[in-house]
């Protein structure tokens, strides 16, 4: 490592992953430590905020120490080489966010380093640039995660304007709820993806929500309800009093696989059609993008990866989609994006707070 290199220590604890990473020059990942909590939340079928924040407290210090040592840095002597401490401080579960934010502020204070608060959603869009060349801008950005489905036009890693977002469920949330309805394991997205590989995506024609002729927003709640009716039959009665003719246990293995494949097809089709629409809008505005940048947990989805690759090739766009380890929540994307903040002189005071709402 030479003195001209910029090393940033990034921390992340917005949901149920405790993560720390050292990244050089916004690009080279020297360490990427992630402690997942899946086993703590499985019995509940979703993340329990109080359990998550307690687990972050137990894990944050060992995770930071591991990230520093895996980066080849000695805690006692090499701390001076670190240029800044970055932390995902928004959006997320407040009790979870606070753990990494408190740790980052303490380290920035004792080591006398600049502190940089990072928006987790914007950081997901940096994940595909880790370990590779910087993308060319302007870019069309898409975040598909458990809590977000957003499209952006990007003039740089830091300059984003919103094009559209979900008006109800995020796509990852829809995958998780669909998996729950079908009796698949937690976390639902990856299990549904695996199961879809054995099914026929044309067996059920689920609605692909477009929200009219021009909208760049997304909606996944209609798809979710359509799946519910396929799984359990049409309800008798309304609301909490509704009763259904059958449950997921009554379905054959083949039927479950077919429903997974058909649901996944409709959800990903909606994404691809909206990307296409966004591209036309940007072309009409004479702002055609050079690159399609995708990030967030659902960017691990096998069908989305295949469809996005075809889409980008056909439309002559470079594609930046994260390698699988960087699709899930991680701190490398936090430290990587922070490099651009630091270069732009955007640092934060020690009064930085965690906020459940994000920038978008
Ligand atoms: O970005 P992320 O790790 O956390 C948030 O910031 O929300 O995204 C988690 C989401 C979950 O909803 C998970 O089910 C989904 O990403 N996910 C997938 C796949 N892998 C993760 N959804 C569909 N297919 C996958 N292979
Ligand atoms: Zn995330």
Q: Which ligand ends up closest to the CA of 46?
A: 1
User: Could you tell me the distance, in angstroms and rounded to a whole number, from the CA of residue 117 to the centre of ligand 2?
Assistant: 15
pLDDT at 186: 80
Q: What is the mean pLDDT of each run of 10 residues along the chain (360 residues)?
A: 84 95 98 92 84 94 97 92 98 97 98 98 98 97 96 98 98 96 91 98 96 96 96 88 90 97 98 98 96 98 98 98 96 98 98 94
The residue nearest atom 22 of ligand 1, judged by CA position, is: 189
Give the contacts of 61 (CB within 8 A, at least 6 positions apart).
Answer: 103
Q: Which-ligand-closest: CA of 93?
A: 1
Ligand 2 centroid to 136 CA: how many Å?
Answer: 23
* Ligand 1-lining residues (CB < 6 angstroms): 15, 145-147, 172-173, 175-176, 187-190, 193, 296-298, 300-301, 328-329
Is the Cβ–Cβ distance between 307 and 268 less than 8 Å?
Answer: yes
Residue whose CA is at the smallest distance from ligand 1 atom 13: 189
Burial of 9 (C-beta count, 10 Å sphere; 0-12/13-18/19+): buried
Distance 17 CA to ligand 2 centre (A): 9
Atom of ligand 1 nearest to the CA of 302: 26
pLDDT of res. 3: 59
Q: What is the pLDDT of residue 80?
A: 93
Q: Determine the atom of ligand 1 nearest the C-alpha atom of 194.
A: 26
Q: How far is the CA of 1 from the centre of ligand 2 (A)?
A: 30
Q: What is the pLDDT of residue 2?
A: 58
Predicted local distance difference test score (pLDDT) of residue 85: 98
pTM (predicted TM-score) = 0.95
Q: Give the number of the atom of ligand 1 that is nearest the alpha carbon of residue 170.
A: 12
CA of 142 to the centre of ligand 2 (A): 13
> In angstroms, what is the span from residue 254 Cα to ligand 2's centroid?
32
């Amino acid at each position: 490592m030479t003195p001209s290199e910029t090393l940033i220590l990034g921390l992340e604890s917005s949901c149920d992953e405790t993560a720390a990473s050292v990244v050089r020059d916004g690009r080279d990942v020297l360490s990427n430590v992630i402690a997942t909590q899946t086993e703590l939340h499985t019995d509940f079928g979703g993340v329990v905020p109080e359990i998550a924040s307690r687990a972050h407290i137990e894990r944050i210090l060992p995770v930071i120490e591991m990230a520093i040592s895996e980066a080849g840095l000695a805690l006692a002597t090499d701390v001076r080489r670190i240029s800044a401490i970055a932390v995902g401080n928004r959006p997320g579960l407040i009790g979870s966010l606070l753990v990494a934010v408190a740790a980052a502020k303490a380290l920035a204070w004792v080591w006398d380093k600049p502190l940089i608060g990072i928006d987790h959603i914007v950081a997901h869009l940096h994940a595909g640039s880790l370990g590779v060349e910087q993308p060319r801008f302007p870019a069309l950005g898409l975040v598909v995660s458990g809590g977000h489905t957003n499209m952006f036009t990007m003039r740089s890693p830091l300059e984003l304007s919103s094009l559209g977002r979900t008006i109800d469920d995020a796509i990852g949330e829809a995958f998780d709820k669909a998996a729950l309805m079908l009796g698949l394991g937690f976390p639902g997205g990856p299990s549904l993806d695996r199961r879809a590989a054995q099914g026929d995506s044309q067996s059920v024609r689920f609605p692909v929500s477009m929200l009219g002729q021009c909208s760049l927003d997304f909606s996944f709640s209609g798809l979710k309800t359509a799946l519910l009716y396929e799984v359990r039959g049409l309800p008798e009665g309304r609301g909490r009093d509704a009763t259904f003719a059958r449950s997921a246990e009554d379905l054959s293995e083949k039927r479950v696989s077919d429903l997974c494949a058909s649901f996944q097809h409709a959800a990903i089709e909606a994404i691809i059609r909206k990307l296409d629409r966004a591209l036309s809008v940007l072309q009409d505005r004479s702002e055609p993008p050079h690159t399609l940048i995708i990030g967030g947990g659902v960017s691990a989805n096998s069908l989305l990866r295949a469809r996005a690759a075809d889409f980008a090739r056909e439309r002559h766009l470079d594609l930046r989609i994260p390698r699988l380890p960087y699709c899930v929540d991680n701190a490398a994307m936090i430290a990587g994006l922070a490099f651009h903040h630091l270069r732009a002189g955007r640092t934060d005071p020690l009064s930085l707070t965690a906020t459940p709402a994000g920038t978008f």
